[in-house]
Structure 1
């Protein structure tokens, strides 16, 4: 029997799920995250199970360490080394603006211009050497870096994606001349066209590499001290796992680690319920993460923006994040207008009702005032944690109700409705804005606060079906349990399809697949476990954006005509219109190598003993209702529920508004029907 731990460290809570493969039992721990010491919360959660760490067969971890380091600008002191004449690449960006009609911005580059250095070299767009790499220039830059006190260096030379000889040599020399300084080269993390995007991706990896490595090393060491003898696995932004020892080196690939795990789990529960088209809605303590999952597969993007002016060009699940969580702070601005978020109370001090020193109202405080959360119910498994309803009332009265001239209940309802509209807009961004009708999708509500809001979000966007998984407050931890091991490889091509040959395509795909196999075998996986998928990034000539064209597992026989046919088919499926004519470009070739892990059996579990059912007054948009209160553990497969209704469990509270109904699925999920 294997024992596997899935762990998600969020901004407010750390969620741990322990799975016993022999019995199918899932055990939950939900404790406060420890800002600045995230490993502490992780170990506290694991310790609650009374299972010797030596008995754990795997520990799989989703983390926000890299994301927070970028957003808070708390990474390493990082320098950039690039081709002479291009030191301003991070400053110039794409000359965009944070708001369309704004004249100013607040952009702060990860690498200041004072830490940007140039070397003498030049390679043209065809990969031909115009100016050899100057050894004297390399030595001068190394001396300047040493004097600058740089802790990490990003190396990004012009056109290195087509010929990386100079960049390899430069990175090798800097590692030799600057012992103890981390060096990240763009050919390792982003060998693709797009000078600015390649530079900023490399800079982000260099910026977060040291803090991520320190954190993962601390987790690995502390677990090892208590008997755990295996590699910790880390969730990547692409929804796959890598060992912790690679997670630090490729830290940029973990930026959306936790949200990606939740999306993987949402897709799995959607498929189990026969819902192929779903939208994952993860509302935690600090943020709301939403992703489109058409045909059971999370949408993947080759580029996203983690912060204004900081695009990341690596494969990752296409997740949109806004500052709207249970801990989002409500306030009234100078114009007398209610605002909710993006600032969050986090876990310390947390919402006012947590009784940990916070006195500013949050969405969670509004929910407790409206009766959607009961003061006496247990949230999580943290010892000595209880809720203070009076503190929530006072915070809302002082900061929202009195400034707006409302009573406390009306102010709390306004906070919830404001937060819901922000989240509904995020759902429209990933669906309507990309040509999808949200009415044709089911919403999967999870996160500590998601099940309280997801039915109202469905009404707002016109969706009629909602799915709430069995452990919604810890679904990202569940995603860590079921995610596959995965590596992505990419090779830039940058030529017209008519100019490619089947031999060239086969050579690139074969090299990438072989590299993936060797890497996975070094991680301890057998060749028989490995699956390979090839993808072509293609576009019409002069188009800015490319599309991903699946090539399956085949690596040979890709003639220009066959590539063009697959591109036309995929283009038509995406845009549903007449395909334009013109030259087709093959931008790059990708290969994804995957090892499937043992599935976690989805079965409903019910406890023999549970608190008796009750009822309480809950306020909705149409006024107060007396709503029955049930325990999730008491529900049985096939049971039908009708709103208004409250379902409580240790990791969250589920709210079924009036005019909704729900059926309990055989795996314990609630399938909710909403009248929009």
Structure 2
């Protein structure tokens, strides 16, 4: 018997799902997050279950600690050590701009130039030593770091991806000379070409390593104090898990921890409903996270950006995030134009309707004004939390309606329309901008606010099918329950494909697979539970960006001709055009090794008789409607609902607009058909 808790700490709420395999029951706790003390909210949620923590077999956690540390610039006091002549790598970056036609743009690197230090050494692009590492300069840099009182050091030497000997020696010496300072070396987190991207990735890891380690250590210690004796598992940005003891050292891999978990779960529910091509739409209290999932597999990118000027070169699920959540604040700017977000009310003070001191209107306040959320509905499972409709009305009136000369209802509708259009544009960014037609995808709506908006988003982008999972407000926590443990390895190659040999490629892939197997065996996985998948990063010569070419689990017989054939096939699938001529480069070889966890078998109970539906007035774009209000726990598989209607549950409210038809799937999901 394996009792597992999946936990997602968001900006407003902390969601905890407990799965009991004996009954197949999923139990939900949804409590307020505790900014700055995230472990408090986590434990509050776990304590709502009548299960001693010592009886839990696994605790799986999605966290925003690393993300918030970068965005708020609240990480460790970090320094960069690099090859002499390259201390300006973070300032020079790629000389891009935050907006295409903007003439100015603020940029503040995580490490200022005053804490960038140089050592005497040089390795060329082929890995040949041009200048040996100077022992004297290493000691001098250690003294300078000590004088600068740094807490963490990022070591990124020129071309160390081709030959890491100097970097390995330097990192070892700094750890010996500065035992109280965390040291991150680029060959450990990003052994790939791209000097700026490799440096920023290493710096981010160094910057968030200590806060992440402290946080996970505190969670582990507090759980241990209450009887939980196993390792906490942490969600990575690639959709796989990693033990907490490793997550602190590789903190950069957890930057999209929570959103990645939701994407994993969205893919699973889409596949279960016979909808392999879906777009996940996660609208929480602070942000809207959207990801393309073609063929049931979330799109993965080898490089993303957590903030302007801070690219991250580690494998991540390709997620686009904008500031549009239920807590996004609506305001009227000096030009008299309505704005929604990116500023959020968060959980403290929260939207005006939460009655926790907030006075500014949010998307949630607009929804309660329009009747889409009832003041009597209990959101979450925290005791003593009720909604205040009068406070929401007053906030919308004072800050939006009066400045725009509108009545309160029209102002609330304008807030919803503005937020919906922002989110629809994000959906177009991950689909249309990348050559995919959103009309061919189903939208999976989740997060605390997602099910209220997803049907209208589908109509905005031309999609005709929407899926709302059984626990949409806690779907990221569910993703933590079902995700596998994953390790990702990369080896830089950097040569033309025609110069490679099948034997050389096989040796690299075999070494990576073996390292992953040994790591998973140390984590307790048997050989039968381990899966291996290989990927080649390739490009045409002189192209800046590469594409991922899946190689499957077979590491043998990858001749230059076979690699070239697969590259052309993938290139054609992505760009839908004739392949340009020219030589092809093999940038790097990757191996993903996954440890398969036991599946979560959820039992859907058949409810008894329907209680008589309640009714209330809800405002949509075409006017007011008196609609039935149903409890989700009373819906039966196969049941069909005609919109407009409202479906309530403890973790969210589902809004079914006019001209929609909803069918209850056998696993409890709602499949909504939206008339175009």
Partner of residue 272, structure 1: 272
- Compare 606-615 and 121-130 and name the one that shifted more: 606-615
Partner of residue 94, structure 1: 94
- Compare 80-89 and 521-530 and name the one that shifted more: 521-530
Partner of residue 509, structure 2: 509
Contact kept in structure 2, 1:610 and 1:633, CA below 8 Å: no
Partner of residue 253, structure 1: 253
Contact kept in structure 2, 1:300 and 1:317, CA below 8 Å: yes
Contact kept in structure 1, 2:156 and 2:202, CA below 8 Å: yes
C-alpha deviation, 1:103, in angstroms: 1.5
Paired with 1:493 and 1:530, the residues of 2 have a C-alpha distance of: 26
Q: Trace 1:586-665 onto structure 2 (pairs within 5 A).
A: 586-606=586-606, 612-665=612-665
Paired with 1:389 and 1:51, the residues of 2 have a C-alpha distance of: 36
Paired with 1:104 and 1:80, the residues of 2 have a C-alpha distance of: 26
Partner of residue 49, structure 2: 49
Paired with 1:157 and 1:603, the residues of 2 have a C-alpha distance of: 54
Partner of residue 338, structure 1: 338
Partner of residue 187, structure 2: 187
Give per-residue Cα distances to partners, 1:401-449, cap 9 Å, x unaligned.
0000000000000000000000000000000000000000000000000
Partner of residue 150, structure 1: 150
Partner of residue 406, structure 1: 406
Give per-residue Cα distances to partners, 1:42-66, cap 9 Å, x unaligned.
0000000010001000000000000
Give per-residue Cα distances to partners, 1:440-471, cap 9 Å, x unaligned.
00000000000000000000000000000000
Secondary structure of the 1:15 match is: strand
- Compare 135-144 and 573-582 and name the one that shifted more: 573-582
- Compare 611-620 and 187-196 and name the one that shifted more: 611-620
Partner of residue 29, structure 1: 29
Give per-residue Cα distances to partners, 1:127-183, cap 9 Å, x unaligned.
001110000000000000000010000000000000000000000000000011000
Query: Does 2:92 match 1:78?
Result: no
Partner of residue 557, structure 1: 557
Give per-residue Cα distances to partners, 1:47-101, cap 9 Å, x unaligned.
0001000100000000000000000000000000000000010011100001112
Could you tell me the TM-score, scaled by structure 2's length? 0.99
Secondary structure of the 1:19 match is: strand
Secondary structure of the 2:82 match is: strand
Contact kept in structure 1, 2:336 and 2:404, CA below 8 Å: yes
Contact kept in structure 1, 2:167 and 2:187, CA below 8 Å: yes
Contact kept in structure 2, 1:303 and 1:313, CA below 8 Å: yes
Partner of residue 14, structure 2: 14
Paired with 1:607 and 1:674, the residues of 2 have a C-alpha distance of: 26
Secondary structure of the 2:314 match is: coil
Query: Does 2:356 match 1:356?
Result: yes
C-alpha deviation, 1:607, in angstroms: 5.1
Give per-residue Cα distances to partners, 1:295-342, cap 9 Å, x unaligned.
000000000000000000000100000000000000000000000000
Query: Relative to 1, partners in 2 of residues 1:146 and 1:611: Cα closer, same or farther, differing over 3 Å?
Result: farther
Contact kept in structure 2, 1:605 and 1:668, CA below 8 Å: no
Partner of residue 61, structure 2: 61
Query: Does 2:512 match 1:530?
Result: no
Paired with 2:304 and 2:377, the residues of 1 have a C-alpha distance of: 39
Contact kept in structure 1, 2:607 and 2:636, CA below 8 Å: no
Q: Trace 1:313-462 onto structure 2 (pairs within 5 A).
A: 313-462=313-462
Paired with 2:458 and 2:61, the residues of 1 have a C-alpha distance of: 30
Instruction: Name stretches of at least 5 consecutive residues in structure 1 with no aligned partner.
Output: none
Query: Does 2:578 match 1:575?
Result: no
- Compare 278-287 and 543-552 and name the one that shifted more: 543-552
Paired with 1:239 and 1:332, the residues of 2 have a C-alpha distance of: 39
Give per-residue Cα distances to partners, 1:206-259, cap 9 Å, x unaligned.
000000000000000000000001000000000000000011100000000000
- Compare 5-14 and 558-567 and name the one that shifted more: 558-567
Paired with 1:634 and 1:365, the residues of 2 have a C-alpha distance of: 27
C-alpha deviation, 1:629, in angstroms: 0.2
Contact kept in structure 2, 1:5 and 1:58, CA below 8 Å: yes
Secondary structure of the 2:481 match is: helix
Paired with 1:373 and 1:611, the residues of 2 have a C-alpha distance of: 20
Contact kept in structure 2, 1:235 and 1:242, CA below 8 Å: yes
Contact kept in structure 2, 1:17 and 1:29, CA below 8 Å: yes
**Residue-pair matches, total:** 676
Paired with 2:11 and 2:611, the residues of 1 have a C-alpha distance of: 30
Q: Trace 1:217-236 onto structure 2 (pairs within 5 A).
A: 217-236=217-236
Paired with 1:440 and 1:160, the residues of 2 have a C-alpha distance of: 44
Partner of residue 669, structure 2: 669
C-alpha deviation, 1:602, in angstroms: 4.1
Paired with 1:595 and 1:23, the residues of 2 have a C-alpha distance of: 25
Contact kept in structure 1, 2:643 and 2:660, CA below 8 Å: yes
Instruction: Name stretches of at least 5 consecutive residues in structure 2 with no aligned partner.
Output: none
C-alpha deviation, 1:581, in angstroms: 1.4
Secondary structure of the 2:46 match is: helix
Secondary structure of the 1:353 match is: helix
Secondary structure of the 1:373 match is: coil
Query: Does 2:211 match 1:203?
Result: no
Contact kept in structure 1, 2:98 and 2:308, CA below 8 Å: yes
The CA RMSD over aligned residues, in Å, is 0.9
Paired with 2:44 and 2:467, the residues of 1 have a C-alpha distance of: 30
Paired with 1:442 and 1:605, the residues of 2 have a C-alpha distance of: 26
C-alpha deviation, 1:105, in angstroms: 1.0
Query: Does 2:450 match 1:473?
Result: no
Contact kept in structure 1, 2:549 and 2:570, CA below 8 Å: yes
Paired with 2:102 and 2:573, the residues of 1 have a C-alpha distance of: 36
Contact kept in structure 1, 2:506 and 2:556, CA below 8 Å: yes
Partner of residue 296, structure 1: 296
C-alpha deviation, 1:603, in angstroms: 3.9
Paired with 1:401 and 1:611, the residues of 2 have a C-alpha distance of: 38
Contact kept in structure 1, 2:26 and 2:602, CA below 8 Å: no
Paired with 1:626 and 1:107, the residues of 2 have a C-alpha distance of: 51
Contact kept in structure 2, 1:603 and 1:666, CA below 8 Å: no
